[in-house]
């Protein structure tokens, strides 16, 4: 092994001339494999991904972003940030050639599904590249809770280990060098319930976009707000809870109240819920939510299932707007006693809390005053970005030593446990035979 000087200090690299990625650790090159294209104005996941990209670019990393997803209407123009954008194909060895050409130091897989599809190719072509999963949220937890809602059973606090999705997600985490966890609750699940080594995880709260806008007073704000990408099942469910159970109660007490239902990709079944007479207004896509949210007085978020951090609730806080949500909505952000607004899983109580918060100015002001203590320091994006870059730098310096502490990583890369790789190769060969 040879010793090399880098902007992060001394790093080791493999000097074997036959290694195509021999000096990969000397370069600040990041490859992000996106499950979807980043849409910061559509979802918290999109905001978080933009936070990661911006953090890397601020430290002069070369960033390549690729995805096999279809083009999207609201995707961010990340090429303006100096990011190289490319489309890749699933189950295709052309990705191997692409990785070899990019020669990355760091590869970030957006959600565990992209790790399953592409990490074995990265490991084969560039074994010295550090492999990181950006979970956005634990998909297994969201799936487990969704199944509970469907079966009308109590919503659990942890993922179901008997579920195929849970097993796949845990395996992907164990295969990787580092996994970014957005919620303290999910970090606890992984470490205490599933025994994931702490050195393999990093708690990194949502890297959201802070608002720089006017914050109107109580009397200057009017109406309730709800925000959610309609392609996300928990958001559609919450919209139905508002329409069927909560809004009629609020409207009966505040006849002139309106609810603005905002979010990207509203399907016809959502737009058909609009009822001007009852004040249930389906606004759909809003390009600049930072300008619109502060015009409203209270955020409503009756989320029955899901995982991660609810960006809509942080957005409400940045708009200095109290909110009423469920225990799952508040999860990972703040406990009920410190919530700037109210937390309830009973829709009658939920509506009553929303009504009182909307009508009582002194209560509204006192709840608004709690916002700063929730946002700072946990959700201080600049500090979280700094911690992220520091963690990446430290692991790059000690990658061999770090991997040596992860015996299950080696086990899961054994050829008998690489079914996703062999399935992908089989599909590729099958596709070739058709041409």
Longest dimension (CA), the chain: 75
The average confidence (pLDDT) of the chain is: 91
Tell me the C-alpha to C-alpha distance, in Å, between residue 159 and each of 162, 169, 187, 194, 401: 9, 10, 12, 10, 31
What pTM, to 2 d.p., does this model score? 0.89
- What whole-number distance in Å separates Cα of residue 279 and Cα of residue 256? 8
High-pLDDT (> 90) share of the chain, %: 81
Instruction: List, in order, residues 6 or more apart from 275 with CB less than 8 Å away.
Output: none
List helix spans (H) across 24-111.
Answer: 44-58, 94-102
> What confidence tens digit (pLDDT) does each residue in 207-264 have?
865 666 678 999 999 999 999 999 999 999 999 999 999 999 999 999 999 999 999 9
Amino acid 101: pLDDT: 96
In CATH, the number for domain 2-208+380-434 is: 3.40.50.2000
Same fold flag, 2-208+380-434 and 218-375:
yes
Find the mean pLDDT for residues 140-148: 97
Percent of the chain at pLDDT exceeding 70: 92
Give the residue with greater pLDDT, 291 vs 214: 291
The domain ranges of the chain are 2-208+380-434, 218-375
| pLDDT per position as a tens digit, 178-204 | 999 999 999 999 999 999 999 999 999
pLDDT tens figures, 332-341: 999 999 999 9
The per-residue pLDDT for 210 is: 62
Distance CA 50, CA 64 (A): 13
Identify the CATH assignment for 218-375 out of 3.40.50.280, 3.40.50.2000, 3.50.40.10, 3.40.50.920. 3.40.50.2000
Number of H helices, E strands in the chain: 19, 15
Element containing residue 29 per DSSP (H, E): strand 29-34
């Amino acid at each position: 092994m040879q010793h090399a000087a880098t902007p992060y200090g001394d790093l080791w690299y493999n000097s074997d001339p036959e290694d195509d990625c021999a000096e990969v650790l000397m370069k600040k090159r990041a490859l992000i494999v996106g499950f979807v294209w980043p849409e910061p104005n559509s979802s918290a996941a999109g905001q978080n991904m933009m936070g990661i990209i911006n953090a890397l670019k601020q430290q002069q990393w070369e960033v390549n972003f690729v995805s096999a997803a279809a083009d999207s209407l609201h995707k961010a123009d990340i090429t303006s940030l100096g990011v190289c954008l490319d489309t890749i194909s699933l189950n295709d060895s052309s990705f191997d050639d692409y990785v070899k050409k990019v020669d990355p130091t760091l590869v970030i897989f957006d959600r565990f599904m992209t790790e399953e599809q592409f990490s074995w190719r990265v490991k084969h072509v560039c074994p010295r590249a550090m492999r990181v999963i950006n979970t956005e949220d634990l998909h297994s937890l969201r799936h487990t809770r969704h199944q509970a809602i469907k079966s009308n059973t109590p919503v659990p606090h942890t993922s179901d280990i008997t579920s195929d999705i849970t097993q796949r997600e845990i395996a992907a985490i164990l295969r990787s060098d580092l996994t970014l966890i957005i919620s303290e609750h999910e970090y606890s699940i992984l470490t205490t319930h599933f025994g994931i080594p702490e050195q393999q995880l990093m708690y990194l709260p949502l890297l959201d976009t802070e608002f720089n806008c006017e914050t109107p007073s109580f009397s200057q704000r009017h109406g309730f707000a709800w925000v959610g990408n309609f392609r996300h099942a928990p958001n559609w469910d919450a919209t139905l809870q508002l329409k069927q159970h909560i809004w009629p109660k609020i409207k009966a007490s505040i006849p002139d109240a309106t609810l603005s239902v905002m979010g990207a990709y509203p399907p016809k079944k959502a737009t058909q819920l609009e009822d001007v007479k009852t004040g249930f207004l389906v606004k759909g896509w809003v390009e600049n939510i930072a300008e619109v949210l502060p015009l409203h007085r209270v955020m409503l978020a009756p989320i029955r299932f899901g995982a991660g951090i609810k960006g809509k609730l942080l957005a409400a806080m940045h708009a200095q707007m109290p909110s009423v949500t469920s225990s799952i909505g508040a999860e990972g952000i703040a406990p009920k006693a410190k919530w700037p607004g109210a937390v309830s899983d009973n829709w009658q109580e939920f509506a009553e809390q929303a009504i009182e918060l909307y009508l009582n100015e002194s209560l509204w002001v006192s709840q608004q005053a709690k916002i700063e203590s929730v946002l700072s320091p946990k959700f201080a994006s600049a500090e979280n970005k700094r911690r992220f870059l520091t963690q990446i730098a430290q692991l790059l310096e000690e990658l061999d030593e770090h991997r040596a502490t992860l015996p299950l990583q080696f086990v899961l890369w054994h050829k008998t446990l690489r079914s996703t790789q062999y399935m992908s190769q089989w599909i590729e060969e099958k596709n070739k035979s058709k041409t």
